Amino acid sequence: MYIIMVASECAPVAKVGGLGDVVFGLTRELEIRGHSVDIILPKYDCLRYDQIFNLQIAFKDLWVPWYDRAVHCSVYFGFVHGRKCFFIEPHSGENFFNRHMFYGQVDDDQRFAFFSKAALEFMLKSNKHPDIIHCHDWQTGLVPVLLYEIYKFVGMTHPRVCYTLHNLQHQGVTREHILRATGLNRHAYFFHPDRLQDNFNHAALNLMKGGIVYSNFVTTVSPRYAWEIMNTTQSFGLGHTLQVHRGKVGGILNGIDYEVWNPEIDRHIPRQYGINTLDGKCDNKRALRQRFWLQDVLKPIVGYVGRLDEQKGVPLITHAIHYCLQHGCQFVLLGTSADGRIGRHFWHLKRHYNDNPDCHIELGFNEELSHLIYAGAEMMVVPSRFEPCGLTQMIALKYGAVPIVRATGGLADTVFDANYADRPYHERNGYVFNDFNNAGIESALHRAIGMWYSFPQYFRELMINGMRHDYSWNYPGQHYLNVFELIRDK
């Protein structure tokens, strides 16, 4: 099959969170299985250009209709760790992708509506007729809308669209100007509850809703999250739409890329290790302590790596830091925040614990450093309010860091409680709590820390159980192919 991914992220060149990992990892898996995959991305100025091999112009003069004019674009091609990537660069006063950041601009709706339109225009003009267009999240929700309302009528009759929802919190709610900008125009037709009209605000358009309505299949990133968004308030207002289209909605658990996330071959850590050489983890623990000036004492290291966002459970992360330090643990945190208030909160904590030899808070994005934390820590906390899939806990499992998670979304699908899971012992791999409050996370931390100190052998078994489980792209890759096979134009 020929598949084109249209996405706003791809690790490691453009990564904000899990979406970037998924685009890269799934593409790689599909290629291993013999399919041809191209990725189309915006040519952001903040791409990690050092990670792109042989970047060169592939299509010089692409004219993308935009309002009542056309924007001149160039399309570049390069390899990102072997993946074939096209990068669209518009030459216009709006400077859509030269903002020194991926998201968070007032005109994000226009930036990504433009990108969606440009991606289709590029496919059309360069004569690409994929079997499947796979798009992701609100940023590319307009792709199936544009395909079936415009591009189908000018020759693109073949492609079918799979649309993956990575997080329903951000839906691309915007206004009518997007219709004029992209040439969809017909106001009354699109402002309809069955099409793009937002379910809360009838004067607004919802790009993610458009993606759900128009695509041939909708996947989300874990079975539990698929259930939650159709049956609980996790849908952020899209539950009804998903119910209407439930016949084409399914949950496929994300995988992680074991070429990137594998302690046996990881180049970012000082000592590689695996199930049979688990003691090697001690060297990484020592290196992590040296890196963060932590004292070398008999204590477990508890870690957190991730965005610092309300979704991730800021109050519980904070509580976990205090609790761990008071109960014989060291704590390391690596995270960034797009929210100024949350950022200030963690800067304050960082200053507070600055001289504490058991705590280090690193505020920034550092892919290489994250590897050392997974390899050096014995436990990782993921106390999310909601979590569509979550990669952190799956990476932690692979690195023998026991995850302590809240039972929500993909966390509930991947972490099975050491004491209470209704699973055989060899499948239990972490600690799980339900209630989103201090008592909830304490109940799990208390059991985990107690196990580390009192029954180190059992704790080690938990680590090994986690390392043994296969959370690679192997199974999810096959699931996606089943979906593609189901919908493709035969």
Binding site for ligand ADP (CB under 6 A): 17-19, 21, 305-307, 334-336, 365-367, 370, 389-392, 395
C-alpha–C-alpha distance, residues 370 and 377, integer Å: 11
Q: Give yes or no for a contact between 337 and 367, defined as CB atoms under 8 angstroms apart.
A: no
For residue 395, the minimal CB distance to ligand ADP (Å) is 6
Looking at the chain, the number of H-run helices and the number of E-run strands are 17, 17
- At its nearest, how many Å lie between ligand ADP and the CB of residue 394? 8
Minimum CB–partner distance for residue 367 and ligand ADP (Å): 5
Write out the two tokens for 274: 């695996």
The residue behind tokens 């090697």 is 280
Q: How far is the CB of 16 from ligand ADP (least distance, A)?
A: 7
Region class of 237: left (phi > 0), else alpha (psi between -120 and 50), else beta: left
State which residue, 48 or 460, has the beta carbon closest to ligand ADP.
48
**DSSP result, 123-136:** HHHTT---SEEEEE
Which residue number, 147 or 415, has a Cβ lying nearer to ligand ADP? 415
We find the least distance from the C-beta atom of residue 159 to ligand ADP, in angstroms, to be: 27
C-alpha to C-alpha distance for 310 and 299, rounded to whole angstroms: 29
Query: Is 71 or 397 the residue whose CB approaches ligand ADP more closely?
Result: 397
Q: Contact, 239 vs 230, CB < 8 A? A: yes
Whole-number minimum distance, CB 306 to ligand ADP, in Å? 5
Token match 């012992």: residue?
Answer: 425
**Between 197 and 235, CB nearer to ligand ADP:** 235
Q: Which is nearer to ligand ADP, 238 or 334 (CB)?
A: 334
Nearest Cα to Cα of residue 447 among 387, 405, 490: 405
Q: Which is closer to ligand ADP, CB of 142 or CB of 405?
A: 405
**Whether the Cβ atoms of residue 184 and residue 150 lie closer than 8 Å to each other:** yes
Pick 308 or 467: Cβ nearer ligand ADP: 308
Which is closer to ligand ADP, CB of 22 or CB of 181? 22
Cβ 366 to ligand ADP shortest distance, Å: 5
CA distance 200 to 277: 54
Q: Looking at the chain, how many residues does it have?
A: 490
Q: How far is the CB of 324 from ligand ADP (least distance, A)?
A: 19
User: What is the maximum alpha-carbon separation in the chain?
Assistant: 71
The tokens of 106 are what? Answer: 């007032």
| Closest by Cα among 206, 194, 94 to 142 | 206
Question: What DSSP assignment string belongs to 345-374?
Answer: HHHHHHHHTTT-TTEEEEES--HHHHHHHH
